Amino acid sequence: MMVVGLHRSSRLVIDAEAIRYNVRTEIERLDQQSELFAVIKANGYGHGITKVAQFTKEAGATGFCVAILDEALELREAGFEEPILVLGITEVKWAKLAADHDISLTVGDLEWLKTASQLIGDKQQLKVHLALDTGMGRIGFQSEEAFQEAASYLENTAKFNFEGVFTHFATADEKDKKYFDLQVNRFHSFMKRLVKRPKYVHVSNTATSLWHAACNGNMIRFGVGIYGMNPSGRALNPPYDLKPAMSLESEISFSKLLKKGRSVSYGATYTASEDQYIGTIPIGYADGYERRLQGFHVLIDGQFCEIVGRVCMDQLMVRMPKLYPVGTKVILAGRSGNQAISMTDIAEYAGTINYEITCGFTERLPRTYNHEYIEK
């Protein structure tokens, strides 16, 4: 485990009320028969899995979705008793462990079920959700016949609780609906094969619920919206203002006047064209603030300050309008004065998506909630 940097100024600040607001607002848009499961995989998209679980539960989430079994086990160990669905495929050898902890698993083929039935205890039941590959091309049943066979097997095998069926849309966050509609039609065709629907029928991630709510089924998997980030970047506007939950803060650790002609950082890729003030900030790509962000900016005293020279493993340098003293606050993501830097701003400059930015922040950055440090 990476050492947490408690004795330096760089830290992530998580706004618990922003998380609660985003979840409450989405729940208000759902019909009364629909539930919201909070997707808190990847350490809550970098925000802290157990804390996000608590905040979303307080806001009305009735269950959780994770990516791997270990994340579900961590929630159980933390005392959460709500339904938990592992969205990825779990190795069949862990079927009994999931049943032991009342964790629901995703299944995409009949052979997995047949093998699992030999591993689950005689007095146990494993909750399963059948995944349908309607066009994501990742996991799940591709043929209606294979799906129907698996559903029939579940209905006639006492060791399983056929709890849910779902699919995942590949283009729900795009303006062009053609491929989305194709997947919807395929899903409906699959569902016609069922004699009896399971407890949960769910197709909606954040993007689907925001822009295609008619498809929601009776449960949505609310993910990136929890954290106040737009899943489409800037392509589509959400129906309400999502409140960003994460800020990245630091302080100037060293401040100097750099003379004309002097260079900054590895490779000497930046040379001062005139005398200028340079501030060093104690954060780098080992913290998840990526090397490709050279030329981007931070906020100091409400002013944008360009990152000059290559981002180092543990430090980066910025050009400042004046000589700010050591200890001056620096905002790398968040608001300073009348200006703001969003995760989408960072992502667009880096040529990626906002999810990757928050997931990429490493354990070395402390997560703070109401100024209290916690590790998870």
Catalytic residues: 41, 266
Q: CB–CB of 301/324 below 8 Å? A: yes
The answer on whether 76 is annotated among ligand-binding residues is no
Q: What is the DSSP letter of 141?
A: B
The answer on whether 1 is annotated among ligand-binding residues is no
Q: CB–CB of 263/276 below 8 Å? A: no
Q: CB–CB of 214/205 below 8 Å? A: no
Q: CB–CB of 306/318 below 8 Å? A: yes
Q: Distance of CA 108 to CAs 17, 92, 360, Å?
A: 37, 11, 29
Q: What is the dihedral of CA 96, 101, 107, 112, to 10 degrees?
A: 0
Phi, psi of 65 (to 5 degrees): -120, 135
Q: CB–CB of 319/276 below 8 Å? A: yes
- 52 exposed, middle or buried (CB, 10 Å; 0-12, 13-18, 19+)? buried
The token pair that represents 335 in the structure block: 């608001």
Binding residues for substrate: 138, 313
